[in-house]
Amino acid sequence: MDFKIMLTTFWLIFLAELGDKTQLATLCFSADCETTRSRISVFLGSAGALILTSFIAVIVGGVVNRIVPANYIKIGAGVLFVILGLWMIFAPGGK
């Protein structure tokens, strides 16, 4: 196991997830809970969802890496982030 990669991944994901819509949704679910048991359920549900989505990303990333070189994946991800960012800035937010 490569601890440098593990810690780099941990901190990158941790910082990226701070204040995102998933964390805010979890906060709202937890705020609505009346008992401690419900808060534990919210924690376990949100942690399980993050683990499952991360597992899927690792599996898909491994498969895609066999077909597409890693540098193209990084470039594609960067371009996708820029496109999504521009879309969020300029797309109308109305219904």
Report the distance separating Cα 7 and Cα 71, nearest Å.
Answer: 21
**Residue 15 has what pLDDT?**
87
In which residue are the tokens 């499952």 written? 52
Is 51 contained in some domain? yes
- In the predicted model, is pLDDT for residue 80 greater than 90? yes
Structural domains of the chain, count: 1
Decide: 33 and 39 in contact? Cβ < 8 Å. Answer: yes
Residue 21's domain comprises 3-67
- Binned at pLDDT 50, 70 and 90, residue 95 comes out as low
- In the predicted model, is pLDDT for residue 34 greater than 80? no
Is 55 contained in some domain? yes
Could you read off the pLDDT of 39-60 as tens digits, one per residue? 888 999 999 999 999 999 999 9
- In the predicted model, is pLDDT for residue 94 greater than 60? no
**Residue 21 has what pLDDT?**
83
Is 14 contained in some domain? yes
